Amino acid sequence: MNADEIRQAAQRSDFRSKAGPLLAMMGMAMVVTTLVIRVVIAVTAADYYALDMVTRDSALSGSTILNDLSVISTWPLWTLPFGFLGLATLMVGIALIFSTIPGRIQQRASAMALTLPRVIESRQGTK
Amino acid sequence: MATQTAVQLGGIEVSSEKAQSMTGMQSMASKMWAPWLIMGFMIVMVSLIIGAIVANTASDYFSFSKEVREAAVANSDIADKKAFIEATKAWLPTFKFLGLGMIMGGITFALATILGNLKTGGGRVQEAIGKGTMELKPPMTAKMFPMVMMMGMMVLMASFVIGIILAVISADYWNHSIAAELNTASAGSGLLSDLGTIKAIGLWLAPLKFVGIAMILSSIVLALATIVRVLRFQTVRIVDLVND
């Protein structure tokens, strides 16, 4: 590799260094969405548990009370895994960015391999 | 450290200044990463021990028949056990997440230390070559990642405090006779209000911890992006040093 090729390679961003931050942002958005959904369910839960036990247990099919119970019981089942998926997406983003570092270190090594002999030669020339 | 000039070097904005010392944040991070990792790991270990103690209490509690458990009056041994189990369920997960957050915070500090060493090492190499010292002007990612990490830690600490408050409410609620008081509580009573609070806070507290962890992970993303940028700059700078 000559100096121009090394310089161009250093300035180029590959797919992974673009996808990594994008995945991290997606993951963060998923986690925040989970929190928002859980806050909405929490309001329903507070309403439901404000009723006495007899009223809750004697609720008829199709009633608002049973509908609330359904929301409180079912939504948490998928929202927490969704939050985990968000964290996993963030971690995949981290892994992608990490995977670009060895290539960058190799580019720097190529630059040193190209330049160090010239530095040494010029030093010897001045002595 | 005052920036003298900002120039474009191979499309990367740089400043010409003495680059042999770490920034204040980087030198702090180089001292803090190990204590944070150790403290975080200790918190997770303590959580395991507390979990074992609760498991033992739960084993005792469930050795009684359902009738006996539900008939147990407030402040009795059985009601105390139930209160302890439920209270611990409220605060222990937030404590574990605080420990995990500290471990990840330690990783962020370690990345900041790497950045500091790249800065000082790059400065030393340039000085040795004797063609002037230049360093990358701190990009937005470098300025943001310590703040995002601290925000994440604050969210986790807030979750822990809320977990303790919830534990107090939970212990108070469950230290009553299930059959005689909790199951017969009327609408609008303090007991049902406590139950509603316990259920509602429990629902949003779990994803709040996730938000804290996600923020710390985001700070790691930003720190890594900064490292990649510094490596790109150093590559271009090495080539330009000889071509100058």
Domain total of chain A: 1
Q: pLDDT confidence of B225, banded at 50, 70, 90?
A: very high
- Boundaries of domain holding A68: 3-126
The confidence score (pLDDT) of residue B104 equals: 96
The confidence score (pLDDT) of residue A6 equals: 85
Place of tokens 């979750």: B159
Both tokens of residue B45?
A: 């270990």
Whether the Cβ atoms of residue A86 and residue A34 lie closer than 8 Å to each other: yes
Higher pLDDT, A29 or B13: A29
The pTM score is 0.88
Nearest to A35 among B195, B208, B241 (CB): B208
The confidence score (pLDDT) of residue A55 equals: 93
Q: pLDDT confidence of B5, banded at 50, 70, 90?
A: very low
User: How much is the average pLDDT of B116-135?
Assistant: 85
Minimum distance, in Å, between the CA of residue A60 and any CA atom of chain B: 18
Q: Which of residues 153-192 of B touch A (CB under 8 A)?
A: 183-189, 192
Give the residue from A64, A107, A7 showing the smallest Cα distance to B241.
Answer: A7
User: How much is the average pLDDT of A30-45?
Assistant: 96
User: How much is the average pLDDT of B223-242?
Assistant: 90
Name the residue in chain B with its Cα closest to that of A76. B203
Judged by CB atoms closer than 8 Å, whether chains meet at B199 and A72 is answered as yes
> What residues pair up with B16 in beta bridges, in sequence order?
B134
- Kindly tell me if the per-residue pLDDT of B10 is higher than 70: no
Q: pLDDT tens digit string along A40-88?
A: 999 999 999 999 999 999 999 999 999 999 999 999 999 999 999 999 9
- Alpha carbon distance A95, A87 (integer Å): 12
Name the residue in chain A with its Cα closest to that of B218. A24
ipTM of this predicted complex? 0.88
Residues of A in contact with B210 (CB under 8 A): 31, 34-35, 83-84, 86-87
Q: pLDDT confidence of B27, banded at 50, 70, 90?
A: confident
Give the residue from B100, B93, B127 showing the smallest Cα distance to B19.
Answer: B127
Whether the Cβ atoms of residue B30 and residue B22 lie closer than 8 Å to each other: yes
Which strands sit side by side in the sheet containing B134-136, from one edge to the other?
B6-9, B12-16, B134-136
Give the residue from B207, B212, B108, B155 showing the smallest Cα distance to A94.
Answer: B108
The confidence score (pLDDT) of residue B4 equals: 41
Domain boundaries, chain B: 7-243
